[in-house]
Chain A
Amino acid sequence: AQKITQTQPGMFVQEKEAVTLDCTYDTSDPSYGLFWYKQPSSGEMIFLIYQGSYDQQNATEGRYSLNFQKARKSANLVISASQLGDSAMYFCAMRENYNYGQNFVFGPGTRLSVLP
């Protein structure tokens, strides 16, 4: 079973508008972390935002916010005031305990295109 589901293979948004990228996860571990990464066409993986499973408030980092709904096991990324430079692949990831370490499981990604 997929541990991280991103149901939107591609999304379009108008510049300066807000956009929500969906992410649902599946784990039985009570302690986990949720992350969003951005991968521009140049290929590097850029960390955007983090939400811990015990955090009471939704995480925010500048124009990025994470809409964490624990009971629904969703961790949607909201980008406000989209910019052309936001065009990229966006990956949702979950950290969970695995073997004697930690595994970071990544979703299939959503390709966001910001239109001028």
Chain B
Amino acid sequence: DSGVTQTPKHLITATGQRVTLRCSPRSGDLSVYWYQQSLDQGLQFLIQYYNGEERAKGNILERFSAQQFPDLHSELNLSSLELGDSALYFCASATRPDTGELFFGEGSRLTVL
């Protein structure tokens, strides 16, 4: 158990819909990352937050947005969903992102029908 909690674990929805994925980092970790892993693909970096502030942005679509709240949990919002958005979405946290490793949650598997 990494200590990173993601909900929901599985989500099935239709094209055009909007969903919210939630992440609680490990206790004390200020930095949260979001990654997308499509079928048989590597991990694509979406966005990083540190103590509520956006720090780095990767290949995140305009239809996607994220935020980190004062209690340090984070949410990834996916809107106008397309079939190609079906993927495993990982949240990860780090105590010291400049020196340490990422601790991953179990992921939220999104299926868009």
Query: Given that A101-B55, A102-B48 are known contacts, is A44 also in contact with B106, CB under 8 Å in the complex?
Result: yes
Query: Given that A35-B101, A44-B106, A47-B102 are known contacts, is A101 also in contact with B56, CB under 8 Å in the complex?
Result: yes
Tell me if B104 and A44 are in contact (CB < 8 A): yes
User: What A residues does B64 contact at CB under 8 A?
Assistant: none
Q: Is the interface of B mostly helix, strand, loop or mixed?
A: strand
Residue pairs across A and B with CB atoms within 8 Å: the count is: 68
Tell me if B48 and A103 are in contact (CB < 8 A): yes
Residue of A nearest to B50 (CB): A101
In the complex, chain B residues 70-86 whose Cβ is within 8 Å of any chain A Cβ: none
The answer to whether B57 has its CB under 8 Å from any CB of chain A is yes
Tell me if B55 and A100 are in contact (CB < 8 A): yes
Query: Given that A99-B57, A102-B98, A103-B56 are known contacts, is A47 also in contact with B45, CB under 8 Å in the complex?
Result: no
Distance from B55 Cβ to chain A, minimum over Cβ atoms (Å) = 3
The answer to whether A106 has its CB under 8 Å from any CB of chain B is yes
Tell me if B43 and A91 are in contact (CB < 8 A): yes
Distance from B15 Cβ to chain A, minimum over Cβ atoms (Å) = 24
User: What B residues does A43 contact at CB under 8 A?
Assistant: 88, 106-107, 109
